[in-house]
Amino acid sequence: MIVSGVRAVLPTGILEDCCVRIENGVIAALDCPDREMAGYESLDGGGAYLFPGFIDLHVHGGGGADFMDATPAAFETAVRTHLAHGTTRLYPTAMSATEEDLAAFIAAYHTFKKESPLAALAPGLHLEGPYFQGAGQKSSGAQPKGVLRLPDLAEVDRLLALAHGAILRWDAAPELAGAPAFASYLKARGIRTAVAHTDATAEECARGFDSGFSHVTHFYNATSMHRKREQTVYAGVVEATYLDDRVSIELIGDGCHIPREDILLAMKIKGAEAVSVITDATRIAGTDCKTAKLGSLKNGTDVIVEDGVAKLPDRSSFAGSIATMDRCLRVLCERYGIMPSTASVLLSLAPARYMGIADRKGSIAVGKDADLCLVTEDYKIKNVIVGGEIAV
Ligand SMILES: [Zn+2]
């Protein structure tokens, strides 16, 4: 395929009037002299931006489906919904849940992988919990409280056995008894662990990083920072993360969870390539529902939609976003004034680096997979290309 007349968004800047040649699903040239060649399908970009496909590290659902519905159809619906918004790779995320519900989520994923034409878009799973600060604790956010528990390596082993290598990342609160052992245990098995839903002090968090936690889940949200307890002041997860160059972060890019200054500060301290933007989308993403269940339909948490974000009904906490990655792009570029090339690092290259796939994904370069989005001047999706084929 030849994609001509595009403004290719590279990490270093924009390549104007670019003509991209794709061969066998891979970018073969960025300066193709001919807009049409025998044997090649042509796509005229009409001056649109060409972004690398977005990579969403943290997403619970979309199009009315939540991965915790634990059916292959729910996986299919959510993945297809996000694909239409430019996401060419995502990591289905489980909420904190009982072992039984997590097992059902894993089983549904296996069937989806076997049967779906979209299977390659979801190469593995992300477990958000259930080893978080417990019931009644303020940092549990929208995580269902009854199922939060301490890290349990026997349970971890049982879920890993069911997953057959499908679990690629797993989050826990580093201050819990057993959390450092959890992080080093998973690290030894090549599974990434992230700090999340935590009230840790900076010291507890730093101990976690030394044990193997290497990332912070929805940084600034349900993560502790400078505060006073009794007569003593403590630093928290935010400060410990800024002080440790080994640690990357992810931020919810819906424009509601994170103000502009906090994104700029994170990029300034960590460097854009260590800052991934995520949707943390619930099933509401890609729909116009005003109420929904977060997590499983059977025993999930009720949420409402107001001001473009999901909230607990008592409005005490945000409850995940309703964003898609193209909305995050609009927030970054139009509202926060971030350059498209930098936004692209946050939406594609940083998550590719975190997952260890940046040699093939996450930016537009010769030799990388042709996972691409054609995006209009006002940052709306025009086409999505996956592995050199027009998917949307
Ligand atoms: Zn989440």
Q: What is the DSSP string of 209-251?
A: HHHT--EETTTTSS---SEEETTEEE-BHHHHHHH-TT-EEEE
Q: How many angstroms separate the alpha carbon of residue 242 from the centre of ligand 1? A: 22
Q: Which residues contact 238 (CB under 8 A, 6 or more apart)?
A: 219, 220, 223, 224, 225, 226
288-301 as b/e: b if 16+ CB within 10 A: ebeebbbbbeeebb
CB 368 within 8 A of CB 5: no
Residue 330: how many other CB atoms lie within 10 Å: 19
Give residue 280 CA to ligand 1 midpoint distance, Å: 5
Cα-to-centroid distance, 391 and ligand 1 (Å): 27
pTM, rounded to two decimals: 0.96
Q: Compute, in angstroms, the gap from residue 95 CA to the centroid of ligand 1.
A: 7
3-state secondary structure of 181: helix
Q: How far is the CA of 102 from the centre of ligand 1 (A)?
A: 15
Q: Cα of 285 to ligand 1 centre, how many Å?
A: 13
Phi and psi (nearest 5°) for 86? Answer: 100, 0
Question: How many whole angstroms from 54 Cα to the centroid of ligand 1?
Answer: 18
65 CA to middle of ligand 1, Å? 15
Indicate if the pLDDT at residue 301 is higher than 90.
no
Ranges for all domains in the chain classified under CATH 2.30.40.10: 2-50+375-390
Q: What is the distance in A from the centroid of ligand 1 to the CA of 19? A: 38
Q: Over range 101-118, report the average pLDDT.
A: 98
**Is the pLDDT assigned to residue 144 strictly greater than 70?**
no
Q: How far apart are the CA of 125 and the centre of ligand 1, in A?
A: 13
Using the Cα atoms of residue 173, residue 213, residue 103 and residue 83 in order, give the sign of their dihedral.
positive
Q: Per residue in 199-209, pLDDT tens?
A: 999 999 999 99
Whole-number Å distance, alpha carbon 206 to ligand 1 midpoint, is 23
Q: What is the average per-residue pLDDT within 22-48?
A: 91
Question: Which residues are CB-contacts of 217 (< 8 A; sequence separation ≥ 6)?
Answer: 58, 128, 171, 194, 195, 196, 197, 223, 250
Q: Percent of the chain at pLDDT above 70?
A: 97
Q: Residue 135 above 70 pLDDT?
A: no
Q: Is the pLDDT of residue 138 over 60?
A: no
Tell me the mean pLDDT in the region 47-56.
98
Neighbouring-strand partners of residue 199: none
CATH 3.20.20.140 domain position(s) in the chain: 54-361
Ligand 1 centroid from CA 189, angstroms: 23
Instruction: Please report the pLDDT score of residue 143 as a whole number.
Output: 64
Model confidence at 140: pLDDT above 60:
no
pLDDT for 300 equals 75
What separation in Å is there between the alpha carbon of 22 and the centre of ligand 1?
Answer: 35
- CA of 59 from ligand 1 middle (Å) equals 6
State in Å: Cα 223 to ligand 1 middle. 13
Provide the 10 A C-beta neighbour count for residue 148. Answer: 21
pLDDT for 322 equals 94
Q: Is the pLDDT of residue 249 over 50?
A: yes
Give the three-class secondary structure for 305: strand
pLDDT tier at 319, thresholds 50, 70, 90: confident
Q: What does the mean pLDDT of the chain come to?
A: 94
Q: Which fold has domain 2-50+375-390?
A: Urease, subunit C; domain 1 (2.30.40)
State the distance from the centre of ligand 1 to the C-alpha of 275, rounded, in angstroms.
Answer: 16
CA of 355 to the centre of ligand 1 (A): 17
Give the pLDDT confidence score for residue 141 in this predicted structure: 58
Q: Are 73 and 65 in contact (CB under 8 A)?
A: yes
Going from the Cα of 185 to the center of ligand 1, the distance in angstroms, rounded, reads: 23
Cα of 116 vs centre of ligand 1, distance in Å, is 24
Under the banding of pLDDT at 50, 70 and 90, the label for residue 136 is very low
In this predicted structure, the answer to whether residue 360 has a pLDDT above a threshold of 50 is: yes
Cα 56 to averaged position of ligand 1 atoms, centre (Å): 11
Rg (CA), the chain: 20
- Which CATH number is 54-361 given? 3.20.20.140
CA atoms within 13 A of residue 93's CA, in its CB half-sphere: 29
